[in-house]
Amino acid sequence: MLTKRIIPCLDVKDGRVVKGIKFLNLKDAGDPAETAAAYDAQGADEVVFLDITASADSRDTQLSWVRDVAATLFIPFTVGGGIRTTDDFKAILREGADKIAVNSAALMNPTLISDAAMKFGSQCVVVAMDAKKREGAEGWTVYKNGGRVDMNMDAVEWAIQAEKLGAGEILLTSMDTDGTKAGYDLELTKAIASSVNIPVIASGGAGSCKDFYDAIEVGASAVLAASLFHYKELTIREVKEYLKERSVSVRL
């Protein structure tokens, strides 16, 4: 059985880790480098760093933030936000990132996925997807610019296309459950995970150890959380021990 990963996420705005509910009402949650180092020490399998306003502000990811975080880590490190070209990939990888997450730019220019996969390898390319349930209809719609712009694009179809283009992983965030602590969107996670053959990271809504287990049960290869860990409501160790007791393979 493949080892399941527990991944804390650093949503960074103006040089600080922040966390909100359904992408709104952001609150300060600490210094990125200090927070990342603490998660490494706690036994996180990876860390994801998202510069959450870079795309909406039409600017590049702040390389100094990436450099500071990378210097504290000994585990894989994914960076996303404001990445538009393969040159951006190269610059961020040089600062110490192991993987690059693309969202808005990939939606606007899908060949960015295939170009990056060809240059750096699929293992380096994470397609981040922000999805929201359609009102009064079946399925989910994909959004860009940190959940600000509805792309009128089906989430499952986009996941399938992303895999065909060379994505090595999908980071799937439910806008409906993000920050609510009511559990991951299991219906969405299952729909995406069952449609692709690459790992799917479930994101948005963790509130208990059981929520992590439930997401893995419906097909997630990894589970990502932010506020639960930032505010020390749960530790990574507690989550892993809970999963291990239920015969889920984790790295302790």
Alpha-carbon distance of 9 to 18, in angstroms, equals 10
In a domain, 251, yes or no: no
In a domain, 250, yes or no: no
In a domain, 215, yes or no: yes
Task: Return phi, psi of residue 127, to 5°.
Answer: -95, 115
Alpha-carbon distance of 138 to 125, in angstroms, equals 29
**pLDDT confidence tier of residue 50, bands split at 50, 70 and 90:** confident
Alpha-carbon distance of 20 to 22, in angstroms, equals 7
Give me the pLDDT at residue 75, please: 96
In a domain, 176, yes or no: yes
Say if CB 190 and CB 159 are below 8 A apart: no
Tally of domains in the chain:
1
In a domain, 52, yes or no: yes
Q: Which CATH number is 58's domain given?
A: 3.20.20.70
Say if CB 36 and CB 73 are below 8 A apart: yes
Residue 12 has pLDDT above 90, yes or no: no
Say if CB 222 and CB 201 are below 8 A apart: yes
The string of pLDDT tens digits covering residues 156-201 is 999 999 999 999 999 999 999 998 999 999 999 999 999 999 999 9
Q: Which residues pair with 223 in a beta bridge?
A: 6, 202
Quote the mean pLDDT of the chain. Answer: 92
Tally the residues of the chain. Answer: 252
List the catalytic residues: 11, 130
- Rg for the chain, CA atoms, rounded: 16
In a domain, 177, yes or no: yes
In a domain, 24, yes or no: yes
In a domain, 252, yes or no: no
Domain interval for residue 107: 5-245
The string of pLDDT tens digits covering residues 83-116 is 999 999 999 999 999 999 999 999 999 999 999 9
Q: What is the pTM of this model?
A: 0.92
Give me the pLDDT at residue 60, please: 65
**pLDDT confidence tier of residue 140, bands split at 50, 70 and 90:** very high
Residue 16 has pLDDT above 90, yes or no: no
